[in-house]
Amino acid sequence: MRNAALYTGALLAAVVVAGCSPQPQASPTTTTPSPTSSAPTSTSAAAPGDPVPATTAQCPYLSNTFVADANGEMVTKVMISADKPHPSCFFYSFGNDKQLVVQVYVGDAGAATALVNKAAPIDTSDKADLPGGWSGGSEATSTGAVFAVSKAGAAVVAFTDQKQTIKAKQVVKQAIAALGL
């Protein structure tokens, strides 16, 4: 029994000493689990830049008639940006004033969310939701109103010179439907 106690004590001492002495390090074999959600984990993505009219052309996803009816002003000219795959559309009224600008973004989910938050900041805008999981914000601005929503890697933003956000909302809904987003 005494030998067993002595042997156990020696074994314990050896384990303690071995634990304190430098040992060769094995390369790590564990990996950090990846997130299982497809939702963006960071909102630090940069928003796409402001669209710039590049050429006079028809908007590929909104008709002049629909815009005139939805926004309440006759469309006298349309310009589109060079953005791909969907150009931004600029609708003008009398006096060459922009009455409506629609920006469509498809790409990184973080950038889509950032674009919506840039257009309709969370701190100041009213919550906006559309069927199919689209969410964002809407608000009156000093020059009209904005309605902006995103879903996954897509965002659609409409700025109107009208004070009613419902007009911008109708335009966004039509753009989403026309583009099949």
Cα distances from 5 to residues 11, 12, 17, in angstroms, run 10, 10, 18
pLDDT of residue 39: 37
> Which is more confidently placed, 94 or 137?
137
pLDDT of residue 44: 66
Please, which pLDDT band fits residue 102 given cuts at 50, 70 and 90? very high
CATH level 2 (architecture), domain 55-179: 3-Layer(aba) Sandwich (3.40)
Please give the share of the chain, as a percent, with pLDDT higher than 70.
76
| Cβ contact 97:161 at 8 Å | yes
C-beta contacts of 120-123 below 8 A and 24+ residues apart:
120/146, 120/147, 120/148, 120/157
pLDDT tens sequence across 117-154? 999 999 999 999 999 999 999 999 999 999 999 999 99
Average pLDDT for 146-167: 97
Average pLDDT for 57-63: 98
Mean pLDDT of the chain: 82
Q: Is the pLDDT of residue 177 over 60?
A: yes
Average pLDDT for 110-118: 97
